[in-house]
Every structure is written in C-alpha cells, then in structure tokens.
Amino acid sequence: MILLDRVTKKYSKKSPDALTSVSLHVEPKEFVIVVGTSGAGKSTLMKLLTREEKPTSGKIIVGGIDYDRLKDRDIPRLRRKIGVVFQDFKLLPNRTVFENVAFALEIVGMSKAEINHTVPKVLDLVGLKGKEKQFPDELSGGERQRVAIARAVVRQPKILIADEPTGNLDPKHAWDIVNLLLKINRYGTTVLLTTHNQEIVNKLKRRVITIKDGTIVQDRAKGGYKE
C-alpha cells in the first residue's frame, strides 16, 4: 500500500536532512503509529505521502502510484486515495457540519442528490447524527475532529493520515478519536497516526515506528506484543 525506498528530504541545500534514507513498507489495512519528538520528521513523512512535498531522492509508491511518474494532473486522483486530518481540524468556520463534509464531495463534482445521500451516512459513522446544522464554533474539540475525520473519509480513501489528531483534545475526547480511527481501520482503511501520547501508543498494541533526527530508529511490529 505504501512503499518508501531510501527516501531523503532536504528543504534547502544548506539545511540538514529532514529525512535521511527512510525505507518503509506498510501493508493494506495496517494501522501504524508514528512517534518521535518535535522536529524528528513525522510531518515531512506525511507531506511526502500526500505530495505536498517532493523527496530530494528515493522512491515513493502509494496504492500502485509511482510518484516519479506522477503528473500534476494525476495529483487529484492521488489525493482521493489519501484522507488527511490535522491537530487543528482545519474546518471551514462559516459552513455547517454538513456543509464542511459536503464540500469534499462538491469539489470532485458529485451531484447534490448523491451528496445528500452520502453525507448523512458518514456523519452517522463518526457519531455526529443530529449535529448537521451546527457550526464548528458550536462544537467541542472532539466533535470538530469528528467532522474533520468525516470529511477525510467521505470519499472512501484507501489511506487515512492522522497527524497529531488528538493533540488539542483532553484524554477522553482523545480516546474517542482513537477509537473512531480504529473503527475506520476495521472497515479496511490503512491508517497512519502520529502522536505524542505515550498512553495511546502503549494501549493500542499496534505497529509503532519511531523517527529520530530524520531516520527510523525503531519499527516495532504489532506481533512484537504479547496480547
């Protein structure tokens, strides 16, 4: 599903590598936690996958798409395969919950009838039934993150990247979000989660990749745990 072969990223000639020769293989339907201190290179890794950034060297293949062969016109197709959520939600403040999610479908040209059919289903999945008409500032942090997740998965991506999605949430809401990511993973989506929350890392018993100074220093398989 995701393949990185000796990927190095330098943001400028003078700066040190943000990532150095990172190789990684993630199977379809895996749930992978990426950890590392601030500046380790986690966001850079995520940005390379979404093609927000290009590697300085090395190979990236995601969902059968070889990034070396990617044309600009292929990028929307790639982005449809990858949903992304962030720590700060990035919702549209002047749109309702329903409209925030619908927007992700409008921009790919889905008909109004299809949108009206699809959005309630995904809001139900994330536990936001009844909140359709509310605006982001009328919601709790956990609810806002649910809207962001609904928007990220409404086009049924193969991969969901969650970059510190619990960073702004209290422990209860953080766990609600993690449980939602697990549910989405059970439905067959590959999930990449970056987090600083050690309790989440310990309790989840999933594959954990540790990045330090731009390299993978540990890759602890799910099977490495006694369940």
* Residues at the site binding ligand ADP, with contacts judged by CB under 6 A: 11, 15, 18, 36, 38-44
Q: Measured from the CB atom, is 40 or 85 closer to ligand ADP?
A: 40
CB 163 within 8 A of CB 87: yes
Q: Measured from the CB atom, is 12 or 64 closer to ligand ADP?
A: 12
Residue 130 to residues 70, 97, 159, 161, 176, Cα–Cα distance (Å): 41, 10, 27, 26, 18
Q: Measured from the CB atom, is 39 or 130 closer to ligand ADP?
A: 39
Minimum Å distance from CB 99 to ligand ADP? Answer: 30
Minimum Å distance from CB 60 to ligand ADP? Answer: 15
**3-state helix vs strand vs coil in the chain, percent to 5:** 40, 25, 35
114: which 2 tokens? 């299809």
What are the b/e assignments for 137-159, b being 16+ CB within 10 Å? Answer: eebebbbbbbbbbbbbbbbebbb
Minimum Å distance from CB 211 to ligand ADP? Answer: 6
Residue with tokens 């987090």: 195
Q: Measured from the CB atom, is 29 or 212 closer to ligand ADP?
A: 212
Residue with tokens 């009838």: 113
Q: Count CB atoms within 10 A of the CB of residue 203.
A: 11
Q: Measured from the CB atom, is 47 or 80 closer to ligand ADP?
A: 47
Minimum Å distance from CB 41 to ligand ADP? Answer: 4
Minimum Å distance from CB 55 to ligand ADP? Answer: 13
